[in-house]
Structure 1
């Protein structure tokens, strides 16, 4: 049993590292991607939006499909799609080619991410082993997202921006080999997932982000109608909905996902603003910019490790509150950047504070959102949690990027980072007001059951 669970943990760790890395690896390369392919300022944000929206919009479908057809099968399928899309993106010749490749990457990630997390939850249902497993997951999730900026910077400067796409191919291939050895329980239902609901949700999100970026009310109105249609379909006409509203109405699940939505919005936007500030205002190259994100990466990992240790004594809710407030404080200090600033004076300290606080949140939010969920809904719960983060990233960057774009240079970046602080403070408030006081601690979540 230990050997089987160890294989699953190693596979899921590699998969999560790859997915997290791909969310941030392009950030430092954005200026050179724009120069190489001829992106406009607003068009460039779609390199991030295309991945985040398809990833977030299809995650519920991916989670449901994992429950219906088998987690291992969806993991293998998702890895294959992800690898091929990464390869195609590296060979992109026009802006549309790269945006399309990033969208297909999101589709692959939407299949593999909930399947991987559901496998982990089933392999480690309770006790200290679950704490350690989710601690590893949190650490590699943090490391992938944070080190992606470092790796992206080095690759962009010394190998070319195309390698920020190519880098995922060998990782996906290695994960495919490992995934073949994973054992999985048989599917538990015979009905297919709700494809129509997934299309409504994804198209609604794409139009919403497009309307926000273009400040055009017409696509926003259509998006609202599509998303309202999704809700109606889920509640009334679908025999097997993407998400059972009883699951979403659970205060622990709802609170953890709201927290994740706001945290995703804040982190994606902060990476974007900080990367542009370091390169376009302070004048650092991609490689050095990546190195300057290393303190943040190390702080995130340290925060995740400390959270696991404190989880033996403190409930996950308290860790989310503390982590949210620490991250907000770091971003608030970061929002004081100036045109004549420096890395040491304006970036280093807030990076460490925000990174440590964010690391505090990673393990607890996953454990709270999935503890006590029935085994046949574990893929759905995992997909919902991942979806909230990606949708938050897309919406947050769309809104904050549009606001910051109306202010020149450093002023816009500073305003954006200050708004990131407000989002994290709101996330901490969600943990205080929405999560029940007796949320299961991350040391002893309720076991999954059939």
Structure 2
């Protein structure tokens, strides 16, 4: 057990947890905060309809593509150091975004902001893993971390809508600078640097994984607007898959891999990564399509559309805060199962309720979806880090975050593409309603697959599963 873990008192651990949570909330918040502000960004900066999607895509591409590199850098150079670097890059990019006057500057700065998030996110989860002892203490910390992810994603829609209507969408990015500076000072004072791994950076693994993720996600997202018959779409997806295959080969032979393949030898962990990707794919589609539906079909303003997500956010928060006690009483498996089932019912119900044009029928299914998010992400995060030694916490946290971002990016691209099926001849409100309904039906299938994985490999844990050891994951 690391020395720092044994000597920290309760007060210091609480401060470190606050630093971790605030830092992580910022990077997740900035994924969703732009959604309800997109119409204002579109008009103010002169984006084309097709180019507007890159406000979100540039961020998630850089975030997902560079995560493994950021995670391994934390193992080698120190997680506190990478936390500080990530905060610095993220906050400076946020400042540029807030002052952007052209689409090109906006998109470039969003990509740099995504890079900062890719450095920052793995360090937050790895520090959590090495700061809190296994058992109830770590369970609570992981539950709060998962709650931060779920609640901030929903809260971003509320905050983004309110800022876009009352002040400016730019404020949401400017406030990142003072928050980041405060977190950097706090980290310098309270966070002890972790032991450095005696390793070198796997540059070939970093290159092939980054290229693979970026080209694959780009191709899937492009398919939504250009179709699968578009040559560049096929080339992008094919090259991305080739690079990921090369990456797997490189990692199987590397003496010090950026992503130890032994992490996937544990069935619970491997299933948790896949389940997280499926679950996030469904839920990011929920936010994306319902935010547009509420504004374009129901007729709400950006601020009102954001407020309409409050039932989801409140239920998400309440369930997430209750999760540690529920896990202690009923076990992680039961809590995960019940909440995935709630999310499944909510998404399926919403796919039917969204055929109307009013808000009221949507509220109960949206609350069930919030419950699913609040209670499922904590157990999935814990399973993704199960039995990983502290010296490999960075690599495992990188995979958890990669599953999160890949699920979000690929899932949204797939839902956007699938939602266009059968829409020939439709226009206006009818088209938007059709696309939202198809997207929610597809999201229901994704959560169903998540539940099957959870029941087969996470809830029904196999006794022969063993932890990753230093020799398995050099």
Name the TM-score, length of structure 1 as normaliser.
0.93
Q: How is 1:21-32 mapped onto 2 (pairs within 5 angstroms)?
A: 21-32=29-40
CA distance in 1, matches of 2:99, 2:420: 30
CA distance in 2, matches of 1:273, 1:350: 15
Q: How is 1:55-94 mapped onto 2 (pairs within 5 angstroms)?
A: 55-94=63-102
Change (3 A) 1:133 1:60: same
Q: Unmatched 5+ residue regions in structure 2?
A: 1-8, 224-232, 424-430
2:203 to 195, 200, 206: 195
**Who is 2:127 aligned against?**
119
1:90-141 C-alpha deviation (Å, 9 max, x unpaired): 1222223222212111111111111111111111122322222223223323
**Who is 2:433 aligned against?**
410
Greater shift after overlay, 84-93 or 335-344?
Answer: 335-344
**Who is 2:372 aligned against?**
357
Q: Would you say the 8 A contact 1:304–1:360 is kept in 2?
A: yes
1:379 and 2:387 matched: no
CA distance in 2, matches of 1:119, 1:350: 35
**Who is 1:366 aligned against?**
381
Q: Would you say the 8 A contact 2:262–2:468 is kept in 1?
A: no
Change (3 A) 1:364 1:436: closer
1:47 to 51, 55, 58: 55
For residue 391 of structure 2, give the secondary structure of its aligned residue in structure 1: helix
**Who is 2:229 aligned against?**
none
**Who is 1:443 aligned against?**
none
Greater shift after overlay, 279-288 or 179-188?
Answer: 179-188
CA distance in 1, matches of 2:392, 2:140: 22
CA distance in 2, matches of 1:448, 1:125: 18
1:283 to 299, 315, 332: 299
1:213 and 2:218 matched: no
1:161 to 142, 158, 169: 169
1:390 to 405, 413, 437: 405
**Who is 2:426 aligned against?**
none
Change (3 A) 1:131 1:387: same
Q: Would you say the 8 A contact 2:221–2:410 is kept in 1?
A: no
1:342 to 358, 368, 384: 358
Greater shift after overlay, 270-279 or 85-94?
Answer: 85-94
Q: Unmatched 5+ residue regions in structure 1?
A: 441-445
For residue 352 of structure 2, give the secondary structure of its aligned residue in structure 1: coil
For residue 187 of structure 1, give the secondary structure of its aligned residue in structure 2: coil
Name the TM-score, length of structure 2 as normaliser.
0.89
Q: CA RMSD in A?
A: 2.2
CA distance in 2, matches of 1:258, 1:30: 30
Q: Displacement of 1:275 after TM fit?
A: 0.6
CA distance in 2, matches of 1:63, 1:338: 40
CA distance in 2, matches of 1:83, 1:121: 25
**Who is 1:108 aligned against?**
116
**Who is 2:21 aligned against?**
13
**Who is 1:183 aligned against?**
191
Q: Displacement of 1:358 after TM fit?
A: 1.3
For residue 313 of structure 1, give the secondary structure of its aligned residue in structure 2: helix
1:22-74 C-alpha deviation (Å, 9 max, x unpaired): 12111111222222223333432222222222212222221111111111000
Q: Would you say the 8 A contact 1:265–1:393 is kept in 2?
A: yes
User: How many residues are matched?
Assistant: 444
